[in-house]
Structure 1
Amino acid sequence: MELIYRAVVVFLVGFLFLRLTGKKAVAEMHSFDLLYIFVLTNIISTPVEVENLGKAIIYSAITVIIYKIIVRLSLHNKLRWLLYGSPTVLIRNGDIDRKGLKKARMPINELLAHLRVKGFTDTQNIAIAVMEETGEISVIPKAEYRPVQPKDLKLKVKKEYLPIPLIMDGQIISHNLKYLGLDIEWLMKEVKKKGEKVEDIMLAVFLENRKLFIDNNKIQHNNNDPNYYKPGKDN
Structure 2
Amino acid sequence: MDEFFEFSFWEMIIRATIAFAVLLVLARLMGKKQISQLTFFHYVTGITIGSIAADIAGESETPFMNGLIAMIWWALLTLLMNYIALKSKKARVLLDDTPSILIHEGRLNEQEMKKVRMTLNDLNMMLREQSVFSVSDVNYAILETNGKLSVLKKAGQEAATKTDVKASAKDPKYIPTEIISDGKLIQKNLTELNLTEEWVMKQLKKKGIGQIDQVYYAEVYGDGSLFVDEKDD
- Which bin holds the TM-score, normalised by the shorter protein? 0.5 to 0.7
CA distance in 2, matches of 1:71, 1:149: 40
Report if the CA contact (8 A) 1:93-1:124 is conserved: no
Residue 108 of structure 1 aligns with an amino acid whose one-letter code is L
What displacement does 1:149 show?
2.5
What displacement does 1:153 show?
4.4
Structure 2 counterpart of 1:56: 67
Residue 22 of structure 2 aligns with an amino acid whose one-letter code is V
Give me the identity figure in percent. 26
Which structure has more relative contact order (CA 8 Å, sep 6+)? It is: 2
TM-score with structure 1 setting the length: 0.59
RMSD of equivalent CA atoms: 2.1
**Matched residues, number:** 154
Displacement over 6 Å in runs of 4+: none
The correspondence for 1:116, drawn from 104, 128, 132, is 128
Q: Name the SS of the counterpart of 2:124 in structure 1.
A: helix
CA distance in 2, matches of 1:91, 1:63: 38
What displacement does 1:108 show?
0.9
Structure 1, unaligned stretches of length 5 or more?
Answer: 155-235
Residue 131 of structure 1 aligns with an amino acid whose one-letter code is L
What displacement does 1:37 show?
1.6
Q: How does 1:123-138 map to 2 (within 5 A)?
A: 123-138=135-150
Residue 72 of structure 1 aligns with an amino acid whose one-letter code is Y
- Check 1:25–1:145 CA distance in 2 against 1; reply closer, same or farther (3 A cut): closer
Q: Name the SS of the counterpart of 1:34 in structure 2.
A: helix
Q: Name the SS of the counterpart of 2:133 in structure 1.
A: coil
Q: How does 1:1-235 map to 2 (within 5 A)?
A: 1-2=9-10, 3-24=12-33, 26-47=35-56, 48-49=58-59, 50-76=61-87, 77-153=89-165
What displacement does 1:115 show?
0.7
Q: Name the SS of the counterpart of 2:162 in structure 1.
A: coil
Report if the CA contact (8 A) 1:90-1:98 is conserved: yes
What displacement does 1:10 show?
2.1
User: Could you say which structure has the larger radius of gyration?
Assistant: 1
Residue 68 of structure 2 aligns with an amino acid whose one-letter code is I
CA distance in 1, matches of 2:37, 2:64: 30
- Give CA-to-partner distance per residue, 1:60-98, whole Å, 9 cap, x none: 222211111111111222432232212112112222222
What displacement does 1:118 show?
0.3
CA distance in 1, matches of 2:62, 2:135: 57
CA distance in 2, matches of 1:25, 1:147: 27
CA distance in 2, matches of 1:145, 1:62: 50
CA distance in 2, matches of 1:7, 1:95: 54
Q: Which moved more, 1:99-108 or 1:24-33?
A: 24-33
